[in-house]
Amino acid sequence: MAPNNRQEIACVIGCPGFRLKKDQEPRKLSLQSIRVLLVDDSADIRRALCSLLSAHIDFEIVGESVNGSAAICKAAELQPDVIL
């Protein structure tokens, strides 16, 4: 079933609470790599996830955040495909 509004499109690209700006078009998923924003309060966990995902050519780590508030700002700036 195809998404029929901007909020549903945002959910499809991996950001359930993310709202697109009025004139902003949704980013389409790349067939070359999946852009990932890592979010965790533990640097060790972020580092482990980064190492694990970076070992796969399909993933590109575009940023890291220590909490949800910072992640929202980074997501708006970086436009990741997935927030983990």
Query: What per-residue confidence (pLDDT) applies to 27?
Result: 58
Residue 24 neighbours by CB under 8 Å, 6+ apart: none
Number of helices (H) and strands (E) in the chain: give both, helices first: 3, 3
74 domain residue, yes or no? yes
C-alpha 42 chain-centroid distance: 18
- The angle at the Cα of 55, spanning 53 to 60, to the nearest 5 degrees, equals 50
Domain count, the chain: 1
| Range(s) of the domain holding residue 67 | 31-84
The CATH number covering residue 76 comes to 3.40.50.2300
pLDDT along the chain (84 residues), means of 10: 43 49 60 89 94 88 94 94 94
Query: What per-residue confidence (pLDDT) applies to 54?
Result: 85
Query: What per-residue confidence (pLDDT) applies to 22?
Result: 66
